[in-house]
Amino acid sequence: MNEVGGDAAEYLPRFGAGGDMDAWASNGARQLIKILSRTAEDKREFAARAVAWSAHFSVDRAIDSYLTIYENVLRLTCGGHVASPFDERAKA
């Protein structure tokens, strides 16, 4: 989920069905060794990027997004005749 980690994360390629498991695992091991071998300064820079990236996310925005999705599903499944059950909860 690259959108979660942005450039402040390391990613392994997905292992595809029928792929070479040994090659995939070896690649992952090489990446892990590279990560663990970073200098203290590189680790600080990486951590700073991660903290900066985390500012893109908030619990309130996530909850609002989930509520919007639930409201849309309710409207679609109930023929569009549903008042938002979340309006009162949001005021509390």
pTM of the model: 0.57
- Quote the percentage of the chain above a pLDDT of 70: 85
pLDDT digit string, tens, across residues 71-80: 889 888 887 6
pLDDT digit string, tens, across residues 18-52: 999 999 999 999 999 999 999 999 999 999 999 99
Nearest 5°: CA angle at 77, between 74 and 81? 65
Tell me the C-alpha distance between 66 and 82, whole Å. Answer: 17
pLDDT band at residue 8 using 50, 70 and 90 as cut-offs: confident
pLDDT band at residue 60 using 50, 70 and 90 as cut-offs: very high
SS (H, E, C) 20-34: CHHHHHHHHHHHHHH
Q: Report CA 22 to chain centroid distance, whole Å.
A: 27
